Amino acid sequence: MTAPRAVVFDLDGTLVDSRHDLAEAVNRTRGELGLAPLALAEVVGMVGQGARELVRKALGGAPPVELVERALTIFLARYEPICTERTRPYPGVSALLEEESRRRPLAVLTNKPERPTRRILERFGWTPRFRHVIGGDTLAARKPQPDGLLEIARRLGLEPAEVAMVGDSAIDLATAAAAGSPFVLVEWGFLGAAEGAGLGDVARAGDVEALRRWLAG
6 - beta bridge partners? 163
Residue type, 159: E
| Cβ–Cβ < 8 Å for 153, 173 | no
Task: Please list, residue by residue across 30-67, b when 16 or more beta carbons sit within 10 angstroms of its beta carbon and e when fewer do.
Answer: beeeeeeebeeeebbebbbbbbbbbbbbbbeeebeeee
- Distance (Å, rounded) from C-alpha 137 to C-alpha 49? 11
Sign of CA dihedral 57, 59, 64, 69: negative
Query: Distance (Å, rounded) from C-alpha 102 to C-alpha 105?
Result: 8
Sheet holding 163-167, edge to edge: 132-134, 106-109, 6-9, 163-167, 183-186, 204-205
Torsion angles phi and psi, residue 122, rounded to 5: -65, -40
Q: Which residues contact 214 (CB under 8 A, 6 or more apart)?
A: 1, 184, 203, 205
Active-site residue flag, 201: no
- The residues annotated as belonging to the active site are 10
